[in-house]
Amino acid sequence: MAKPTLAVVGATGAVGTVMCELLSARKNVWGEIRLLASARSAGRKVRCRGEELTVQELTAEAFDGVDVAMFDVPDEVSAQWGPAAVARGAVVVDNSGAFRLDRDVPLVVPEINPEQVRNRPRGIIANANCTTLAMIVAVAPLHREYGLRELVLASYQAVSGAGQIGVDTLYDQLSKIAGDRVLGSRPGNVRQAVGDDLGPFPAPMALNVVPWAGSLADGGWSTEELKLRNESRKILGLPDLKVSATCVRVPVVTAHSVAVHAVFGAEVDAEGAREALRNAPGVILVDDPAAGEFPMPIDAVGTDPSWVGRIRRSVDDPRALDFFVTGDNLRKGAALNTAQIAELLAAEFSSR
Amino acid sequence: MAKPTLAVVGATGAVGTVMCELLSARKNVWGEIRLLASARSAGRKVRCRGEELTVQELTAEAFDGVDVAMFDVPDEVSAQWGPAAVARGAVVVDNSGAFRLDRDVPLVVPEINPEQVRNRPRGIIANANCTTLAMIVAVAPLHREYGLRELVLASYQAVSGAGQIGVDTLYDQLSKIAGDRVLGSRPGNVRQAVGDDLGPFPAPMALNVVPWAGSLADGGWSTEELKLRNESRKILGLPDLKVSATCVRVPVVTAHSVAVHAVFGAEVDAEGAREALRNAPGVILVDDPAAGEFPMPIDAVGTDPSWVGRIRRSVDDPRALDFFVTGDNLRKGAALNTAQIAELLAAEFSSR
């Protein structure tokens, strides 16, 4: 039985680059791999799975013979080309926001709801938002144990969540403020030193935190905050889950963190929660404050699991847990989860 | 009537330095000002209120004739010398944690509970923790409006909260990672670049967030997180207030931020909340996401008020508000609130 053909759309972006690394490192389940990108990137050579592949231009014909197409592109590109790929016979795994809340598109996290992969009337499966993904692999086992009712979330999001330009912007700003040791101590000085080039952010990122991610939605909410609510409900199958989130960008390169306050139907205890997480897939438990061990971006970056720690039962609520989770937003937050979904599909082909 | 004599204990530290600036800038209500510090700092000259003052060594006799003594020193120094100053006739305003939860010591925020200044059986009045202070001046007016029941908090704390050494450590680490644009993308690289000198922090601060502040207490809680709970209850006079906090250190020099989820007894609305905050003392409302206006450390640093914004009513709870607040942890978080309490005491002297 020939292995299925895989297309990676957006192969030269921040997430696409991680995707090629993953394809090189993970157990190989694919036959031909095709790398697709904009005309601007076509012709570029990219190393993938031990081969040097030439990036092809994204066209409808490029999907001929493709069994699975992973999309790592902006919403509007997925919206246009996802259905085109389906029309040519591919199953699409989309990492953008274009289809996530569509009733006929499952939102899959393989550790949580892998069976939803088969529920794809449109031929499209969606990958969740990066912040949702970092957090949900730790929340799901606790839901299974105690019955989740409510989440109150505050995020600490890395700049690579805004793409390579976000990373370049932070590094540029850090070099502008380097060497000046009084900048952070007076209003206006960081803004002056950073100047007008804010990159994809509404304010300077160096020596700052910016309580904004995504675009403005109703009621003053950001789209990022509403994604945390709507996607968590869908992934966990909890349409009435109460969720409040405040999303904040911080001067970290890669790995999003979330401070989680989770309220359950049953009484909880910290040691029981640790045990559930110790045994949970896709999660590493790092929880020994006395030894200085907590989940942090500089340790989680470049690794596959979400790191969870600081697990405490709320002092005033025996049904609530407080904890901290961090995960590489380009890996589990994007490329890895997408690759894992694609591998579920590849297994379908093998079983035919 | 002669103006009262003021002593500033810990005059040469990070907070003491801001105190001298404030004394120079605020309306003068003091007669003689005496600067006290350790023997190591005695003899140093410090500019304060237009005069050049010589720092004196901290001894019991140094308090003779002092009417009000402001302490900006570590807990153990306040614990030893606060009562000594009281014994010499001074009223003590203490910025440390030594006396904050003592039944006979009021915890005063002048915008909220100024009348508590007179309730001082031990002759000591305590200043709250810096993170509590940044947040509570925004929470109190909302409590008055809607009746607070619960707080779920996540902090973004600046490095100067750990003293000048915290600031130096961050700047040192930022210069170590400067110029290398791939560090943040692989596990271990930031740790390697930063090396062993972590300063007062348990982990590198550059390009990182560290979910820890203070020391380890029961149940895995940090002392900083328990202060947010215990001090908020005391300041607001709400002994049954439910509070959960996760305290996180971020690579910002000065100004602590808090993402707040506040639950009230009455239904709330965002515009009513904005109105209450617009009229509240010690608070600036900055809430126009479409225009890129939110509370941020680089704007709040060096200013007196707390900045509050991102005000939203929770989608799933009509009695809950989510918002973001930031305030200079050395000013309102420490020196300014202390100075404001001391000025309430100076007013007592004037009315004699």
- Tell me the pLDDT tens digit for each residue of A82-128: 999 999 999 999 999 999 999 999 999 999 999 999 999 999 999 99
* Domains of chain B by start residue, with CATH: 6-127+334-350 (3.40.50.720), 132-158+209-327 (3.30.360.10)
Handedness of CA A208, A214, A217, A222 (dihedral sign): negative
Mean pLDDT of B310-335: 97
Confidence of residue B247 (pLDDT cuts 50, 70, 90): very high
A99 burial class (0-12, 13-18, 19+ CB within 10 angstroms)?
buried
pLDDT at position A333? 93
Q: Judge whether A294 and A326 are in contact, CB under 8 Å.
A: no
Helix, strand, or coil here: B312? Answer: strand
- Residue of B204, B210, B295 lying closest to A211 (CB–CB): B295
pLDDT at position A271? 97
Apex A220 CA angle, A216 and A225, nearest 5: 70
* ipTM for the assembly: 0.95
Q: Is B160 annotated as a binding residue?
A: yes
Mean pLDDT of B53-80: 96
Q: Return d(Cα B29, Cα B44) in angstroms, integer.
A: 24
pLDDT at position B180? 74
Determine which helix (DSSP H) or strand (DSSP E) holds A92, and give its type and residue range: strand A91-94
Query: Does pLDDT of A39 surpass 80?
Result: yes
Express each pLDDT in B156-177 by its tens digit. 999 999 988 999 999 999 999 8
What percentage of chain A reaches a pLDDT higher than 90?
91
Strands B45-48 and A320-327: what pairing?
Answer: unpaired
Confidence of residue A211 (pLDDT cuts 50, 70, 90): very high
Q: Return d(Cα B173, Cα B197) in angstroms, integer.
A: 9
Q: Which residues partner with A323 through β-bridges?
A: A260
pLDDT at position A183? 62
Q: What's the gap in Å between the CA of A223 and the closest CA on chain B? A: 12
pLDDT at position B14? 83
The structure tokens listed for B285 are: 């409302």
Q: Return d(Cα B70, Cα B36) in angstroms, integer.
A: 10
pLDDT at position B350? 77
Confidence of residue A48 (pLDDT cuts 50, 70, 90): very high
Interface of B with A in 194-213 (CB under 8 A): 202-204, 207-212
- Residue of B253, B310, B316 lying closest to A243 (CB–CB): B316
Hey, is the C-beta of B274 within 8 angstroms of any chain A C-beta? no
Q: Kindly identify which residue of chain B lies nearest to residue A175, measuring between CA atoms.
A: B178
Query: Does pLDDT of B184 surpass 70?
Result: no
Determine which helix (DSSP H) or strand (DSSP E) holds B151, and give its type and residue range: strand B148-156
Query: Which residues neighbour A171 within 8 Å (Cβ) at sequence distance 6 or greater?
Result: B181
Express each pLDDT in A136-192 by its tens digit. 999 999 999 999 999 999 999 999 999 889 999 999 999 998 777 776 677 778 999
* Amino acid found at B300: A
Query: Inter-chain contact B312–A219, Cβ cutoff 8 Å?
Result: yes
Q: Return d(Cα B73, Cα B61) in angstroms, integer.
A: 18
pLDDT at position A217? 97
Hey, is the C-beta of A182 within 8 angstroms of any chain B C-beta? no
Q: What's the gap in Å between the CA of A134 and the closest CA on chain B? A: 15
Express each pLDDT in B15-52 by its tens digit. 898 999 999 999 999 999 999 999 999 999 999 998 99
Torsions phi, psi of B45, nearest 5?
-105, 130
pLDDT at position A184? 63
Q: Judge whether B284 and B305 are in contact, CB under 8 Å.
A: yes
Q: Is B247 a catalytic residue?
A: no
pTM of the model: 0.96
Q: Judge whether A220 and B310 are in contact, CB under 8 Å.
A: yes
Confidence of residue A196 (pLDDT cuts 50, 70, 90): very high
pLDDT at position B183? 62
Comparing CA positions, the residue from A75, A108, A74 lying closest to residue A91 is: A108
Q: Return d(Cα B37, Cα B43) in angstroms, integer.
A: 10
Chain B CB contacts of A187 below 8 Å: 298-303
pLDDT at position B254? 95
A279 burial class (0-12, 13-18, 19+ CB within 10 angstroms)?
exposed
- The helices-and-strands tally (H runs, E runs) of chain B is 9, 14
Determine which helix (DSSP H) or strand (DSSP E) holds B69, and give its type and residue range: strand B68-71
What is the DSSP secondary-structure string of B128-193? PPHHHHHHHHHHHHHHHHH-EEEEEEEEEB-GGGG-HHHHHHHHHHHHHHTT-TTGGGSTTHHHHH
Comparing CA positions, the residue from B153, B150, B315, B319 lying closest to residue A317 is: B150
What percentage of chain B reaches a pLDDT higher than 70?
98
